[in-house]
Structure 1
């Protein structure tokens, strides 16, 4: 092999490593979203634990069957804790040791489900408030329908919207940063 060929090969390897920055030099713009998911989800666990324990503050009424309400809030608390950890996995170095496609697939659930919740909520609740759409209130023993709708529109749907946006941003950050890292490994 000639000296020019060896020098050329070394230059290509040097160029490839220069093209893939080390983890520390990756843009941090998307990282805030992963931490935001962790904080946002953790904060939302608090009212669910309170409601699962029988608390009634913030409730627009009383359910006929409290057992289902307790199970729903315990389940929501578990899902929110998983979301908090997933938010960190999207931006922490330990998250890069997990299977990339699995992390991205679970993160997609993290933005699709809240996104669909927002679409459904904003598509139906204003019509219900205007009397043009009838909500299924059968689980409630008594309920203030207006308070139920306004709480959903002004508190819950914005929460889901912010969660979905943060999952999209953190997922894009993770996809970009792991793609760069995997390209550097292949070269």
Structure 2
């Protein structure tokens, strides 16, 4: 066994793994509301989610239920990526992990930042907001936005720590750049198209 193989499969120090475990916990915890809403639960949703989303969940609209299940599964996969970043793997797996972690991190940080900025602008604007929307805007500004941003930062820090321990960083860096820039481009395109 070569020195590079040993370093790529050895577990990391306790200080180096906190972000990976944090990203895993974030993904697993955040999957719970998606599954809860997909199964028909709506308690607390009317004050924390946009009214059109609550209506879709209450009316059990099939395509929306599919979206909830898929997003729940993707969050669980994100949690698994966080756990996988705690260990060092072979070159191919490390590149895939960098791609996924940077993609998730950039997407979550961008998405959460949009929630915060839009919410602050709406609250500071001169337009009169309907009273029933104000609590929802506050939830997105002060809870959901920061929650997304915290998850994004955890994935980015975990990816950076994982990258630092790799013997062959070049391919992993390229994979991370592709994952991060691809996630940002997809999110910007969806924003321009009015989808997300």
What TM-score does the superposition give when structure 1 sets the normalisation length?
A: 0.70
2:137 alignment partner in structure 1: 149
Are 2:107 and 1:113 equivalent residues in the alignment? yes
Rounded Cα–Cα distance in structure 1 between residues aligned with 2:126 and 2:105: 29
1:126 alignment partner in structure 2: 120
Which runs of no fewer than 5 residues in structure 2 stay unpaired?
171-196
Q: Check whether the contact 1:89–1:96 (CA below 8 A) recurs between aligned residues.
A: no
Rounded Cα–Cα distance in structure 2 between residues aligned with 1:115 and 1:77: 18
TM-fit CA distance, 1:133:
6.9
- Corresponding residue to 1:76 among 65, 71, 79: 71
Rounded Cα–Cα distance in structure 2 between residues aligned with 1:24 and 1:74: 35
More displaced 10-residue stretch of structure 1: 159-168 or 95-104: 95-104
Rounded Cα–Cα distance in structure 1 between residues aligned with 2:113 and 2:24: 23
Are 2:54 and 1:59 equivalent residues in the alignment? no
TM-fit CA distance, 1:22:
8.3
Q: Against the structure 1 CA distance between its residues 129 and 63, is the aligned structure 2 distance closer, same or farther, given a 3 Å change threshold?
A: farther
Q: How far does the alpha carbon of each residue in 1:41-89 deviate from its partner, in whole angstroms, 9 at most, with x for none?
A: 1111111111111211221244256424423321220110110110011
1:4 alignment partner in structure 2: none
Size of the aligned set, in residue pairs, is 159
Which structure has the larger Rg? 1
1:102 alignment partner in structure 2: 96
Rounded Cα–Cα distance in structure 2 between residues aligned with 1:164 and 1:177: 21
What TM-score does the superposition give when structure 2 sets the normalisation length?
A: 0.67
Rounded Cα–Cα distance in structure 1 between residues aligned with 2:143 and 2:126: 22
Are 2:83 and 1:88 equivalent residues in the alignment? yes
Q: Check whether the contact 1:124–1:133 (CA below 8 A) recurs between aligned residues.
A: no
